[in-house]
Chains A and B, each alone.
Chain A
Amino acid sequence: EVYLEESGGGLVQPGGSLRLSCAASGFTFSNYWMHWVRQAPGKGLVWVSRINSDASGTSYADSVKGRFTISRDNAKNMLYLQLNSLRADDTAIYYCARERSFLEVTGLGHWGQGTLVTVSS
Chain B
Amino acid sequence: AQKVTQAQTEISVVEKEDVTLDCVYETRDTTYYLFWYKQPPSGELVFLIRRNSFDEQNEISGRYSWNFQKSTSSFNFTITASQVVDSAVYFCALSDITSGTYKYIFGTGTRLKVLA
Please say whether chains A and B are actual partners in one complex. Answer: no
Show the binding face of B for A, using Cβ within 8 Å: none
Show the binding face of A for B, using Cβ within 8 Å: none
